[in-house]
Amino acid sequence: MKNGNISLLDKESIEIYEEIGDQHLLTSIDTPLRPDAFDLSDDEKIAKIQDNFKTIMETLGLDLSDDSLKGTPYRVAKMYVKEIFSGLDPKNKPKVALFDNKYQYNEMLIEKNILLQSTCEHHFLPIYGKAHVAYIANGNVIGLSKINRLVQHYAKRPQVQERLSIQIMEELKRVLNTEDVAVYIDAKHMCVSSRGIKDVSSSTVTSSFGGKFKEASYKNEFLSAVHHDVSY
């Protein structure tokens, strides 16, 4: 339907869109990107988003001549491109160097309580929580901070938590050349707490297990460590 120059969604489309958002569905393991996703430079993207966000603010009735608001379209555009969605661009993926496992440490290594901040791709609202990652070395190891950086890289894009868990696991499997990787994420979604059901108490837990971590003994050891609180 059309109302002047404004396109209106039909009832069936609205119901489908609402269902996908409320049911937290994902359509692919890879983040959906167009073939021309990186044809524009960062500066060109910022300029385009700035113009579009200005239109959104004006449509909402905000007065952009106000000193507090006039810079908001630029600030939001720069934040999108340079910060919270910077993980979309492959050039921003952390460089990961491998080191020989000279100590022959062949037990699981767990990096707990990695601060995670992402954005729900259904409503563009924040996701925040913690990720816990483990792997069993297969001849090589990586620096601990690189695990954190890889988590942050994949979090810095519009996401669905299930996809985020899988993307982190698959990247670590590729980098470490091992199937023995586990990822556990516990996060709160602002699309649940600030809209819709408005439940501020619930959190979402997702996990991905590869190789030995699919076996009960390894899985239980990992989960026990994740849930064990230590005071420092």
pLDDT of the residue at 37: 97
pLDDT of the residue at 6: 47
> Which residues, in sequence order, are bridge partners of residue 141?
99
DSSP 214: G
Task: Check if 123 is active-site.
Answer: yes
DSSP 197: T
Domain ranges for the chain, please list them.
11-91, 98-227
Which two three-digit tokens encode residue 105?
């440490």
CATH class of 11-91: mainly alpha
**What single-letter amino acid sits at 60?**
L
Which two three-digit tokens encode residue 216?
């009960």
Active-site entry in 107, 167, 191, 215: 191
pLDDT of the residue at 27: 74
SS3 24: coil
DSSP 88: G
Active-site entry in 122, 132, 152, 167: 122
Task: Check if 122 is active-site.
Answer: yes
Task: Check if 104 is active-site.
Answer: no
Fold of 98-227: GTP Cyclohydrolase I, domain 2 (3.30.1130)
In the chain, what are the helix, strand and coil shares in percent, each to the nearest 5? Answer: 40, 20, 35
Active-site entry in 120, 153, 159, 171: 120
Burial class from Cβ neighbours inside 10 Å (0-12, 13-18, 19+) for residue 120 reads buried
- Gap between the Cα atoms of 149 and 90, Å rounded: 14
Active-site entry in 159, 161, 167, 171: 161
DSSP 87: G
pLDDT of the residue at 229: 84
Which two three-digit tokens encode residue 202?
């619930």
Active-site entry in 152, 159, 171, 189: 189
Task: Check if 227 is active-site.
Answer: no
pLDDT of the residue at 4: 45
The HSE-up count of residue 220 (CA atoms within 13 Å, CB side) is 3
Task: Check if 121 is active-site.
Answer: yes
- Gap between the Cα atoms of 191 and 201, Å rounded: 13
pLDDT of the residue at 1: 40
- Alpha-carbon dihedral angle through residues 149, 173, 219, 115, given to the nearest 10 degrees: 10
pTM for the model: 0.88
Instruction: Print pLDDT tens along the chain (232 aa).
Output: 444 444 566 777 776 666 666 665 667 889 999 999 999 999 999 999 999 999 999 999 999 999 999 999 999 999 999 999 999 999 999 999 888 887 888 899 999 999 999 999 999 999 999 999 999 998 889 999 999 999 999 999 999 999 999 999 999 999 999 999 999 999 999 887 787 777 787 899 999 999 999 999 999 999 999 998 876 7
Task: Check if 171 is active-site.
Answer: no
DSSP 34: -
